[in-house]
Amino acid sequence: MTFIDLFCCVPSFAVFTLQCAVKNNAWGSIGTKSEVALLRQGGDSTFELQDDMTYAELWMGTHVKGDSILTSSEHAGKTLSQWVEEHPDCLGSKVRSKFNDQLPYLFKVLSINKTLSIQAHPNKTHAEQLNAKHPDIYVDDNHKPEMALALTPFEGMNGFKRLSKIVHFLEAIPEFRTVVGEKETKALQEACRTDPKGTSDSAKAVLKKSFTSFMNRDESLVSEQLDKLEKRFQKLVDEGQDISNVDGEIFLRLCKEYPGDAGSFVSYFFNVMTLKPGEAMFLQANEPHAYMSGDCIECMACSDNVVRAGLTAKYKDVPTLCEMLSYITSTPEERIFDSHVDPSDPCVTIYNPAIPDFAIAKVEILAETRNHTLGAYDSGSIVLFIRGSATATSSSISETLSLRRGSVIFVAAGESVQLNLESNDGLLAFRAYCPLD
Ligand SMILES: *[C@@H]1O[C@H](CO)[C@@H](O)[C@H](O)[C@H]1NC(C)=O
Ligand SMILES: *[C@@H]1O[C@H](CO)[C@@H](O)[C@H](O)[C@H]1NC(C)=O
Ligand SMILES: *[C@@H]1O[C@H](CO)[C@@H](O)[C@H](O)[C@H]1NC(C)=O
Ligand SMILES: [Zn+2]
């Protein structure tokens, strides 16, 4: 190695703060009820939070539709993608070779006040096929695994319920039975008798057939039953009756959010779950899901590939969705992602979905701790500070960064960051990175 090589490999500023893009989609939470808005304001006191505006997403990364901007170092004002392009070593050599000098993940905060569309994401091979066939609809050829980690109680639909649960609702709700169909209902009941969980291939085939029939049911029949069930449940509510044994509140809520959308019935097929803060769900390829309410950290492979099938005014592709789903059934509890404490740092909990694109580390420093080192990772990482305040120093930077709730920093591969806490109430931060061996 020559002197020049040595010099080039050490980026001059390898830890810096970022200002991140906010998205104001209509489904976002409003004003100060939105964690996205509060974090964005916390990280930048010049940000003007408006009480009547929706704040749906905070994007941390290099995506063209919301590139982060450097706010410290001599490079302040550059976008993160520009900086990465000029200093690809900050990604780490493994990420450079695996992901072609690109940051492979997009890190987000979501604040949701209205159910998002029912969707699933194709796997890599399928994404390539969809993109080749319909480049106008499926705009890129990448897969899009994603993870949602709750910051506040976070509600979403995720995967198919156990077969016995679906059959329970078919038997308890005649309107649901009508839209699924009599023949299909009988087939599901039959499958359920021998396999109540619905894990066998034959049970999955029956579920696929019934779900596909339901999704293709005549629109006028579906809207008639929707209307009927909505009125029936509403009457029961008005009479003060409990409709929780038939998940009536969720159905009514979906009807209000998406009037006339057949998607309101899907809560009888899919698990509806509420994550506690710190719990996560991971959406593999071909798993149906819809986020419903609350605030979460989200990490995903950098991609826009979504196949939608309901609760949306956007393009729906029902045949593709019905064909691609995996039809794995489960309980809501089984959908909670297993995290583990980092053996090398008890303050760190790792959520690693075992894909190269991303993992999330939760850093929770207890009250009364004075300092902590964010360890060096093999890949470039992005850290979002949720609670607590600290000053940060690193061997490669001359300035001291001042961090608080809402601050976001990029940490180059191989860099560690020394945090000196400024308050006595500890610190909570989340860090996205690539877990490449
Ligand atoms: C959600 O929207 C409703 C209706 O606009 C509003 O009353 C409520 O405050 C909103 N909640 C959040 C968390 O934004
Ligand atoms: C990818 O998805 C397609 C469509 O659902 C499926 O046929 C194929 O088996 C999947 N491939 C892998 C490797 O899982
Ligand atoms: C970290 O805090 C401990 C006490 O909690 C102190 O002894 C130590 O000097 C501190 N280290 C640094 C680098 O500030
Ligand atoms: Zn999704």
The amino acid that residue 153 corresponds to is P
Q: Is the CB of 19 under 6 A from ligand 1?
A: no
Q: Average pLDDT of the chain?
A: 93
- Judged against a pLDDT cut of 90, whether residue 131 lies above it is answered with no
Q: Any known ligand binding at 146?
A: yes
Q: Is the CB of 324 under 6 A from ligand 2?
A: yes
Residue 423 binned pLDDT confidence (cut-offs 50, 70, 90): confident
Global confidence as pTM? 0.93
- Judged against a pLDDT cut of 50, whether residue 11 lies above it is answered with no
Q: Give CA–CA dist 331/337, Å, rounded.
A: 13
* Cα(130) to centroid(ligand 2), Å: 12
Residue range 171-187: mean pLDDT, rounded: 97
Q: Is the CB of 30 under 6 A from ligand 1?
A: yes
- Judged against a pLDDT cut of 80, whether residue 332 lies above it is answered with yes
pLDDT at residue number 73: 82
Residue 13 binned pLDDT confidence (cut-offs 50, 70, 90): low
pLDDT at residue number 316: 82
Q: Is the CB of 29 under 6 A from ligand 1?
A: yes
The fourth-level CATH superfamily of domain 146-335 is Phosphomannose Isomerase, domain 2 (1.10.441.10)
- Judged against a pLDDT cut of 60, whether residue 402 lies above it is answered with yes
- Closest atom of ligand 1 to CA, residue 113: 1
Domain extent listing, the chain: 146-335
Q: Any known ligand binding at 230?
A: no
